[in-house]
Structure 1
Amino acid sequence: MLPGYPFSVINFLLYTFFYLLFSIPLTLSYRTTRVINFAHANFITYGIYTAVFLNGILGNSSLFIATISAFLVAGIIAVANHVFVFKPLEKRGASMNLIMIASMGLWIMYNYVLYMIADIAHAMIGMNFISYGRITYKDVPELVVNGVSLSSTFTAGLLYTSAILLGLYLFLEKTILGKAVRAVSDNPLLSEISGIPRDSIVLLTWFICGGIAGLGGALWTSFSGTVTPTSGDAMILQVFTVSFIGGLVSLLRTGIGAVAIAFIENIGIAYLNSLFNVPTSFRPFLTFLTLLTILIVSPPLGAAGGLPYRFRSKKVKEK
């Protein structure tokens, strides 16, 4: 019998939902722009705090309103990053490494901006936004399956994740704009020659990717015990690990990565705790170990010269 059943299974599924919502947009944005975006953590955090401010200041208890608002806010931030930072750097001939470093700068800047906003809101209405408790939404019901009560977070996670994945699939596979996004991802030069407006497609992609991550952040407020302006940062290791499993290019393998990391962090740690008394606080260690293994054995796009890359390089030198 699985230790902690059925709660370990429920948590495994919940974390799978969240990792899908956080990691799929990271992979899609990299596929289209080739930017390794560390400011992706801010999309999650600002989605979280959009829901927090709506609840704390306006008294909103509708998850639908919170997620739609978070989608728009995070999507606009993603577009602003491209327009005011990434695109100007590209025009000046900056390398992808330099743009990645710029995204780190944005990551830090947005953190401090959010701290300032939270402090101002605290001074104005006397409510602590630096550490905000779990939000209970009234428009999502709880489910009971075989006598097991499933929280409203589980219900919402299942519905939102299914809707986002299905919508994204239909968009990319069945619509003209979606096919244009795929064309820009596969061959930017050829797509421009074919008359596809690359700049517009990149803007659209950033908006969608930022929006999905922000939506996931709003949903996170119904699950996490307490959120802070660094809540998105706390998940960035798992998010990048999941995307690296997908090679930063495959949405399908990113989905598999989300399932794998959620399994390791919940089912895996439950067994280790039961058999060897490994504390549950070792979850990040298991994720980091997975990330290191991926980078060494099968690095995304040959980055950092993992084992397959080294073997290929050695063969080329011998020839």
Structure 2
Amino acid sequence: MMNFYNQGKPEYLTQHKQTDSSQVRLSVALVTRNRPESLERCLKSWRSQTVAPFEIVVSDDSDENYAPKIEDLAKQFNCVYTKGPRRGLYANRNHASLNCRGTHILSGDDDHTHPQDYVERILEVVESDRQRVWIFPERNYNEPNAPLLCPPELHRSGCGCTPKDPSDCAAIADGSSVYPRQIFDQGLRYDETYTFGPLWYLWGKVLRKYGWKISYSDATFIWHYALSENRFSNVKQLQNLLESTMYVLFVNALWIEPSLQNIMWSILYLSRRSICQDTMLGYTVKTRLGIKSVLNLLIQTWQFPNKLDSYQSKDFNKN
């Protein structure tokens, strides 16, 4: 049985202010995988808030040897625990969001911590307009005085660029965005084609296409404990990242914002990454896309409308 936040609150939680039932009910859709130490730090931060969220859903994509520790932590901090689908980061984000019961869903990552008034500030912003997506910035934990910047939106290269109008943009902050739950009720989902990659750029474009307004606020932020990872020297990982990047670019050019100009830019960057070695931010190696990767991303791109239709035709149960 799932241990929901409002069932059997531990004593230390009763000291915090609770949201009124007539107000926004903020669910936290927190994804995690194989990082119990990081998750514990994150949950301590969540449970130190001046205003407690309505619930915290921990969706766990961990391997079997990590899962028991993750589940114990979720119970210790009185969270909903659910096993993730193990199909990649964005399948896990969908799973976490679909297990939320609040009026609004706040995406969360296990390598984040938060100012103590994080939820309080977010509720104030959301109350100003409940029918839009709100995105919030991040700071690296070892750069405490770094400026707060709007997250990037999709650039013609497949990477990110600063939005021209942060109050009405296609940017997404993967671990600090707030979505009205109607978005998921109407069948919209993060794209799950790749287990990892810049699919958040595509998510922002899809939301805009379906009429949702996305706005940036610097009323609060998250601390990001960026971890050094072996993948930054892994050629295979880089190839997968380049493939998913080009997939995002082609889907946008053909299905989301179709135009001859977007198609031409996509072909140009695909040719460049197929002929010349390229890299991505943080990586210490270079590689190029092979014929197999190019064919796969083009096939996946062509199938995108069917994926979107399949999401919207499903009857998803909400807890």
TM-score > 0.5 by shorter chain = no
Question: What is the TM-score of this pair, normalised by structure 2?
Answer: 0.25
Greater RCO between the two (CA within 8 Å, min separation 6)? 1
Q: Which has the higher helix share?
A: 1
Q: Which has the higher strand share?
A: 2
